[in-house]
Structure 1
């Protein structure tokens, strides 16, 4: 028996048979979401090490080198800065518990949130999947780390930073990253493993350098100056606190990246593997992040940190080592970290987009779901690059990083809150169906904690920040309005496509399963005319056999 076939017959696979595309309508037995792929056309090349590295590869990106200055500018005090780096992983551990339970319901499905939402909210039909699909696709760019890569690349080689140079260097590294993922899953995972190892060692080096600063083994004469009154100038403004939590949360984003490749995990218990990987990743990153921030605070005057923008890491090395060759070490670390992040994120996001396509919610689902010719999700990777390029050139360079970070977070918080509530919904349905409890069960405390963090981050950014503490030069809540606007556009699109046009055309939208030559399975959305009403012309006679989004 082949490895793929063997995994398909694992205990997780048996649970899959009884619960994937769960709870169909008893009357018409309609398909809910993407059809099951018992044997992954992407293979099973992901190990525990790969899961940990995929998580750390996304976590250890530009966040720790670029956000502390922005966070300190928002909260005002060193004490609050360090506190937020401890609070954020607590919410992440709660999220890990929630995802573990949901993953144990669907052990052979990649894509994580896209799967959980499609199953938890089947009514109104297509509404939640369409909203998540459109939002995910529109926000699946990797512009933030590409921009930080460009900034530190120019710093490393003493190139004057201009908007033009920043944009084209950012585009180049984004193109390289997606090319690696497009050509080979095996080699993209190997690249993530190698680069992430370098990133971990780099963060350890920064943390140990901070220890040397505190022990007065460097030229920093007053390493404890910023610690004498750590809570001085603390801002308790709601917008400032939300901004700080958004930024620290962004730095830890990636703890669940391995859930996106759950269907490709080489293990008898893939859920346990990704769960363990999440815990290991969060523990390592929390220790590294806290000690790295302590190093910054020990070596750099408070006001300089606040004014550093996204270059606090470079400032740290300049303060400790001066303008010697050593000051080039950190920019090199950052560009390596950003590169590893871009590859790791592309691996995960490509699977999410592929699952969206398998639901039938993208035009030409065969293209986006196919794994030909390299056994990789080439269509989703190409789409991700196109969106990244668009965003890089669409926004002013000065505000691009902070605005994109906030914008990418806001709509996702709405879906995160829905995911948390979805745990209770799916539990109730499983109990009603007489199914056994899942392997992992999140405590209600973890679910509530996860939900409260989402609500806090959705509400507090609307409160005006104190003067001088905004993180963009334009209106502080612009990203909230844009994020909500995207969700509303999804609703309008849904009403036109699923409600208005079928009513005018006398048809309903149904799902049909199609298996592609590479083994991929997709749901195609097609028209079924009702009440005996005929199509309006001869060409429409064939629309029932064509994907609705292509017709």
Structure 2
């Protein structure tokens, strides 16, 4: 490749050294190729595409500022990166959570306000992810950022990310929604056993496709992503037609038309019934945030993205604008078509009620709910794709059992099958938990621990601004947005423990159970680190050191080596 850092910052190392050459120094001797043609050419010449620098296997944390090409090559262009984000964001959330949100906060106005607030907060989080992602353009996302920023206590950041990814890095909620909507379309009651069977079947199929047929999996998830965007746009258009034509249908079991939706026409009516308790609002916000979750999805797979820096900035911003617009319009569509009381009682089937009212009991109940199920399946595909890469990066760093072998490699089918299996097992376990309303609980458990990582990355970004001015930042986050994200993360961490009026001790304990589970996972990570990195080395009189190695498929890995301590150390 040719060009300088000034000409093409997306393909250059992002560390500005204090050398006589200055910022314009020639890095061509160490930089990695970032386009697909060059990576294919280097592999053809027998080069080790997993290496960070030309003169050896680079696994130092400082190498994170250098683009790295995966052994799989750079298979993701702009459109694939955009779909990887938007298909992750638009999953089951917008089709399932509005009913539970309105039921908890009580009014249309407060519900819409939360969706707008979710977009603004998501922008703050995206700004942090964009600065980190363009500054450290490596696969792994939060793992890379925390390891680079928090190097002491040694191995703690890596261990916490590893435990969180393995224990809570599951894909269960969208699998469950897939099963519910398939059964709803078949006019069957959503039997819990049948829902879980369909959910496990979906998870298994996606794992096999991504693990054995890499390019086919990318093609299918791209296709499902565009179908999903079209579906949401179609819902908005359908609600507009209902308003313009004054036509909607709602049928009971006997085919008799039922009551019509009445959207409030006054300001007071819009906010009637609002519940402003912060504990309730924060729980609803978790569900909104879940619906926006995934804007950082490409950060986990940067090693496979062509022109990663430029693609990340453009695709992520476009996806946020798309999601914000569609989410607000779809919520308005629900309120225009479905009566508020029905929405509050709909649970996760609000979209199915919408389709049935607009298109009747045949088309509305069968074909369009199937489209929602397909949308949920598309979300499962992109989440599995990204999290399997995160698991692979964790394994490459040496923090998973047997991670330096099968779990780190791309054998035998040229895909991270080990990382996929690490993702598959906890997902199936969570899907099979025989608990009522498991969907809402999963959303809360997934969202709560993430606030600790959001807080850590946001604080770390401000710290790096002061301590590491030598780092090039192709994207600079708006500082007030970063501080707002810090304050909000603190508020959301404490919110579950704010008591509600008239709430007894046992009821309060049950309500905060999701937060206690999340905190338990983080504490388990701390204890695991303490045992692995502190107590065992102390008892065994050794210290842990990192040694780089290369697997047979060209993947560079880190092995944790026990080095005997000297008597005086």
TM-score of the aligned structures, taking structure 1 as reference length: 0.88
Match of 1:250 among 284, 290, 293: 290
Match of 2:305 in 1: 265
Trace 1:437-456 onto structure 2 (pairs within 5 A): 437-456=472-491
Distance 1:374 1:11, change over 3 A: farther
**Deviating more after overlay: 116-125 vs 513-522:** 513-522
Which residue of 190, 195, 198 corresponds with 1:169? 198
Corresponding residue of 1:299: 337
Offset at residue 217 of structure 1 (A): 3.6
Structure 2 CA distance for aligned equivalents of residues 253 and 425 of structure 1? 25
User: Which of residues 219, 238, 241 in structure 1 aligns to 2:278?
Assistant: 238
**In structure 2, what is the equivalent of residue 544 of structure 1?**
none
Q: Please state how far the C-alpha of 1:160 moved relative to its aligned partner.
A: 2.9
Partner of 1:381: 420
SS of corresponding position for 2:270? coil
Cα separation, 1, equivalents of 2:62 and 2:534:
19
Change (3 A) 1:74 1:197: same
1:167/1:227 Cα in 2 relative to 1: closer, same or farther (>3 Å)?
A: farther
Larger mean Cα displacement after TM superposition, 356-365 or 225-234: 225-234
What is the CA deviation profile of residues 284-342 of structure 1, one whole-angstrom value per residue up to 9, with x for unaligned ones? 11111111111111111111111111011111122223323333233112111111000
Structure 1 unaligned regions, length at least 5? 21-28, 534-551
Query: Which residue pairs with 2:45 in the alignment?
Result: none
2-structure distance, mates of 1:451, 1:384? 29
Pick from 132, 155, 172: which aligns with 1:126?
A: 155
State the 1:450 CA deviation: 1.9
Task: Determine which of 478, 498, 516 is the counterpart of 1:481.
Answer: 516
Task: Tell me by how many angstroms 1:245 deviates.
Answer: 1.0
- How far does residue 458 in structure 1 lie from its aligned partner after superposition? 1.3
1:47 to 1:214, Cα distance in 2 relative to 1, 3 A = same
Cα deviation for residue 17 of structure 1 reads 6.9
CA distance in 2, matches of 1:196, 1:344: 9
For 1:165-244, list aligned pairs within 5 A: 165-219=194-248, 223-228=261-266, 229-244=269-284
User: Residues 465 and 301 from structure 1, CA distance in 2 versus in 1: closer, same or farther, beyond 3 angstroms?
Assistant: farther
* Aligned partner (choices 373, 384, 390) of residue 352 of structure 1: 390
Residue 117, structure 1, aligned to residue 152, structure 2: no
**By how many angstroms is 1:33 displaced?**
8.6
Match of 1:323 in 2: 361
Where does residue 539 of structure 1 map in the other structure?
Answer: none
Question: Relative to structure 1, is the Cα distance of residues 411 and 219 closer, same or farther in structure 2, using a 3 angstrom cutoff?
Answer: closer
Q: Distance in 2 between matches of 1:466 and 1:372?
A: 57
What is the alpha-carbon distance in structure 1 between the residues aligned to residue 94 and residue 500 of structure 2?
Answer: 23
How far apart are the structure 1 equivalents of 2:350 and 2:502? 22
Q: 1:63 to 1:176 in 2, by over 3 A?
A: same
1:368 corresponds to: 407
- Computed over aligned residues only, the root mean square deviation of the Cα atoms, in angstroms, reads 2.6
Q: CA deviation at 1:32?
A: 3.6
- The answer to whether the Cα contact below 8 Å between 1:167 and 1:392 also exists between their aligned partners in 2 is yes
Deviations 1:475-506 (A, max 9, x none): 11101001001111111111111111111111
Q: 1:71 to 1:458 in 2, by over 3 A?
A: same
Which residue does 2:552 correspond to in 1? 517
Deviations 1:6-41 (A, max 9, x none): 99x975564257789xxxxxxxx9944988784321
Aligned partner (choices 453, 459, 475) of residue 415 of structure 1: 453
Equivalent residue for 2:347, pick from 309, 315, 334: 309
The residue number in structure 1 matching 2:526 is 491
* Equivalent residues, number: 511
- 8 Å Cα contact 1:213-1:295 kept in structure 2: no
* Residue 49 (structure 2) aligns with: none
Q: How many Å separate the matches in 1 of 2:187 and 2:509?
A: 29
Q: Check the 8 A contact 1:37/1:521 in 2, yes or no.
A: no
Q: Is the 1:37–1:520 contact (alpha carbons within 8 Å) kept by the matching residues of 2?
A: no
Give yes or no for contact 2:139–2:301 (8 Å, CA) kept in 1.
yes
- Note if contact 1:411-1:483 (Cα within 8 Å) is conserved in structure 2: yes
1:64 aligns with 2:104: no
8 Å CA contact 1:369–1:520 kept in 2: the answer is: yes
1:138 to 167, 178, 181: 167
Following the alignment from structure 1 to structure 2, what is the Cα–Cα distance between the partners of residues 368 and 227? 58
CA deviations on 1:224-245 (whole Å, 9 max, x unpaired) are 4445411001000111110121
| Distance apart, 1:456 and its partner CA | 2.3
Given the two structures, how large is their TM-score scaled by the length of structure 2?
A: 0.85
SS, match of residue 71 in structure 2: coil
Shift of 1:428: 2.4
Cα distance between partner residues in 2 of 1:13 and 1:276: 15
Distance 1:381 1:173 in 2: 14
The 1-side partners of 2:502 and 2:169 are apart by 32
Q: 2: CA distance between counterparts of 1:119 and 1:14?
A: 19
Structure 2 counterpart SS, 1:66 = helix
Do the aligned partners of 1:313 and 1:330 also contact (CA within 8 Å) in 2? no
Q: 1:209 to 1:137 in 2, by over 3 A?
A: same
